[in-house]
Chain A
């Protein structure tokens, strides 16, 4: 069965640089979620999209933005990177109604030097 695809899997950036993370949800899933997991921490919700519209916003810094495109893939754009942004970034997809299982991608490990 098709899974959530994330790219790149690993990314190394310098402070103040920008990064773009991509997510391709499971086909026919209408909702995409982004989560951030710091070292030794639990995943924290960042933002979600339903049918290409932002549906919910969590603890996402103003330096980050995201969107969902017509083909349902999503991109998380991160600017002015800080050392503290180093983390695993997960994308998950699901069917919105009824609230159902969220399937997670393998994650993008971002390291900011």
Chain B
């Protein structure tokens, strides 16, 4: 499997706090993407970071990528109850034969209490 573990598997915080989720992967990549999924619903794209980028911001989201450690983190600042969802990281291989195929981590279930 290209993907490793996401850490933590579950995270429970109060509104206003920051939430940090981590994921690791095993092989070289083109991009790493973070997705959000509300229970049993669709996958909503949050942010894409390319292998030559180290940090990216989008609103309250901050993503870092460390290709030497094959790891990424997603930080959600000033969390809201509406942020409650599962968060998945997904990587795509830089190998031509599987170009574009996404490998997902197991996800972090984030619960934000009002």
Contacts and interface: CB of A to CB of B under 8 A. Distances in A.
Interface in B80-114: 88, 90, 92, 97-107
Given A104-B43, A107-B41, A31 B88 contact: no
A102 B100 contact: yes
Interface string B39-73: 01111110010000000000000000000000000
A43 B45 contact: no
Contact of A33 (B41, B48, B101, B107): B101
Contacts, number: 68
B30 interface: yes
Interface of A: 31, 33, 35, 41-45, 48, 55-56, 58, 88, 90, 92, 94, 96, 98-107, 109
Given A42-B104, A42-B107, A109-B40, A102 B99 contact: no
14 contacts: A42-B88, A42-B104, A43-B43, A43-B102, A45-B103, A56-B101, A58-B101, A99-B30, A99-B92, A101-B33, A101-B45, A102-B45, A102-B90, A106-B42
B77 interface: no
Contacts of A56: 97-101
Contact of A45 (B41, B42, B44, B102): B102
Contacts of B100: 31, 33, 48, 55-56, 94, 96, 99, 102
Given A42-B88, A56-B98, A99-B92, A104 B103 contact: no
